[in-house]
Structure 1
Amino acid sequence: MTSAQFQPAAGPARRTVVAAAGAAGLAVALTACGGSDDDASGGKAADSSGSGGGESSGAGTALAATADIPEGGGKVFPDQKVVVTQPAAGEFKAFSATCTHQGCAVKSVSGGLINCPCHNSSFSITDGSVQSGPAPKPLPAVRITVSGDSVRLA
């Protein structure tokens, strides 16, 4: 007899549970980080170091019209867990809307800062860096594309 014949039939094997948990964790990580590092649309993607304005094939989730993102400010999109900013005219950035302190959702953008109401952390609209509060790390950049007057998740 082989060892496989002696395995209990009640419930999945440990290996199956561990593999499923790993796959679920990877899926969450990819979703939280915006998916891939590649811009499959062939257009220019705005990130923490670039500006928007590139052409895109229109792939990705539509967030807003460029006119909806105030210059020198931004807008939080709670359903997508992203905040989009426009530090200078025509320059669009996007960051995770999850505070790096304890995972609260940032709620507002004002005075050049992305603000978390839980413990008063604030982050730069330009690069997501911590400007005040207990947050230990900057907000991670999220890839977006800007095509015409449309801002989309990449």
Structure 2
Amino acid sequence: MTSASIHPASGPARRTVVAAGAAGLALALTACGGSGSDTSGAVEDGGTGDGAPGGGTGGGALAATADIPEGGGKVFADRKVVVTQPAPGEFKAFSAVCTHQGCAVKSVADGLIHCPCHNSAFSIADGSVRGGPAREPLPAVPITVSGDSVRLA
């Protein structure tokens, strides 16, 4: 008997099973990421960064000051930054990564930054914890406001 005449029992090859498993995992992870749509009145926007707060670009323009609502804010998901305006003309920025388990915050409403994963809430004024399981505040991200533009510092 030669090795060419030996055939395994019917069934998929190991490579086929591994490839199918990897594809299924990728699909499952994509499904957990959310669609970017939000019915809570949240404002979410993308950026061009590399995933770190500010995208590692420094000085990158995020938005016009008019785009950040007074008493609210805007999440820049791709930059992992949330910019708020707690008082007229006062702009703050925080990491958009929840300090509880690393989920992305998704909305800003009623003076709070909300994480959808476990309902943690943070102050738009200083990033402090206002509710939920998070125990640490959102870290501040340096920004500059020049004219009508909000930029990463």
TM-score by length of 1: 0.63
**Hey, what's the Cα distance between the residues in 2 that align with 1:32 and 1:68?**
19
The answer to whether the 8 Å contact 2:53/2:81 transfers is no
Which protein has the larger Cα radius of gyration, Structure 1 or Structure 2? Answer: 2
> 2:67: which partner in 1?
68
The alignment-based identity, stated in percent, is: 81
> 1:153: which partner in 2?
152
> 1:12: which partner in 2?
none
Unaligned runs of 5+ in 1: 1-30, 36-58
**Hey, what's the Cα distance between the residues in 1 that align with 2:87 and 2:114?**
19
The answer to whether the 8 Å contact 1:34/1:143 transfers is no
Would you say 1:121 and 2:120 are equivalent positions? yes
More helix by share: 2
Deviations 1:101-126 (A, max 9, x none): 00000000000000000000000000
Whose RCO is larger (CA < 8 A, sep 6+)? 1
**Hey, what's the Cα distance between the residues in 2 that align with 1:141 and 1:99?**
12
Deviations 1:71-115 (A, max 9, x none): 000000001000000000000000000000000000000000000
TM-score by length of 2: 0.63
RMSD of equivalent CA atoms: 1.6
Please give the residue correspondences for 1:3-18 in structure 2 after superposition, counting only pairs within 5 Å.
none
**Hey, what's the Cα distance between the residues in 1 that align with 2:99 and 2:53?**
13
1:33–1:65 distance in 2 versus 1, CA, 3 Å:
closer
1:61–1:95 distance in 2 versus 1, CA, 3 Å:
same
**Hey, what's the Cα distance between the residues in 1 that align with 2:55 and 2:140?**
9
The answer to whether the 8 Å contact 1:113/1:125 transfers is yes
The answer to whether the 8 Å contact 1:95/1:141 transfers is yes
